[in-house]
Amino acid sequence: MNSGCHILIIDDEAGLRQMMARVLQRAGYEVTTAANGKDGLALVSEHTFDLLYLDIRMPGLNGLEVLKIIHARFPDLPVVLFTAQPDLHSAVEALRHGATDYLLKPLKPQAVIDRTQAILANKQEERRRRELQRQIDALQMELHSIRSSNGQDADSKPQQVSAADDRFLKRGGLTIDLLTRRAKINERTISLPTATFDYLLVLARHSPTVVDFQTLVVEAQGYKTDLREAQELSRWHVHHIRQVLEPDSRNPIFLLNVRGTGYRLVMN
């Protein structure tokens, strides 16, 4: 499963770089490391990577600055940031600039492996979705051409190849396209980073019931974590969802907090 996957780690802390490299190499991944943002950017420009781990706090170019540059040049490269000092503003800012996720220090080896496997599996799944969509589009065009050549109305709508009932998840004014991974609220398209989109999808699937913090992380990101980290992960992703979903993110009416338990999505 891990064959051919190349991971880059950018962190000024030598001990952490070496630990992560050993953990990921033992799990079967090819790993390259960089001690600062400048060297990391040079490596990303010269080589192809499947995943990037990046420290937020570094001398010179910090993690957020590196993230902005990388996401502008390589928008499909998943980037996971890590920090010893959780900060809501920094985390939300990172998500806005394309970060896939973040980890809290001290890093646990198994958590690193679980996160890596989940992100790379999701990346492979997205690549497969795009390929299937291209095939569907090609089939629809071919069908439309055949219908036209047989004398049928050339302007008639091509027959849908996909099963619409399985493709769209609808909750009130919210519609989620499971194939293209796009969402609309009352016909307004909303844009979310990959990991945050998965949180919205889990909440929508369970709506209107409550999803507890740990279940939310497991179903959205594919790994187990303790309650504290699950609360932090969920809170930051929910904050970003509210920014695009709610009329007033400070007074949510759709995505509600159930104190000490989790969140519930209620779409009327």
> Does residue 232 lie within any of the structural domains?
yes
CATH number at residue 216: 1.10.10.10
For the chain, how many structural domains are there in total? 2
Shared domain check, 98 and 25: yes
> Does residue 26 lie within any of the structural domains?
yes
For residue 158, what is the DSSP state?
A: P
Query: What's the one-letter identity of residue 180?
Result: T
Dihedral sign, CA of 51, 57, 58, 60? Answer: positive
pTM assigned to the model: 0.64
Q: What pLDDT score was predicted for residue 160?
A: 47
Closest to 240 in 3D by CA, of 186, 215, 211, 203? 203
Angle at 131 between CA 129 and CA 136, to 5 degrees: 90
CATH number at residue 37: 3.40.50.2300
For residue 230, what is the DSSP state?
A: H
User: What DSSP line would sit under 96-109, residue for residue?
Assistant: HTT--EEEESSPPH
> Does residue 69 lie within any of the structural domains?
yes
Shared domain check, 98 and 203: no
Shared domain check, 106 and 18: yes
Instruction: State the Cα–Cα distance between residues 32 and 53, nearest whole angstrom.
Output: 10
Query: What's the one-letter identity of residue 195?
Result: A
Strands lying side by side in the sheet with 255-258? 211-212, 262-265, 255-258
Helix 109-149 and helix 14-26, axial crossing angle in degrees, nearest 10: 60
> Does residue 141 lie within any of the structural domains?
no
Instruction: State the Cα–Cα distance between residues 50 and 126, nearest whole angstrom.
Output: 13
In a 3-state reduction of DSSP, which class is residue 152? coil
Shared domain check, 243 and 176: yes
Domain extent for 232: 163-265
Instruction: State the Cα–Cα distance between residues 163 and 43, nearest whole angstrom.
Output: 43
Shared domain check, 94 and 173: no
Shared domain check, 109 and 22: yes
Spell out the per-residue pLDDT of the chain, length 268, in tens.
Answer: 466 799 999 999 999 999 999 999 999 999 999 999 999 999 999 999 999 999 988 888 988 899 989 988 888 899 998 877 655 567 667 777 778 888 878 888 988 998 898 888 877 777 676 677 677 767 777 777 787 777 655 444 444 444 455 788 999 999 999 878 889 998 888 888 778 888 999 999 999 999 999 999 888 887 777 888 888 888 888 988 998 999 998 899 999 999 999 999 999 7
For 44, counting Cβ atoms within 10 Å of its Cβ (0-12 exposed, 13-18 middle, 19+ buried), the class is buried
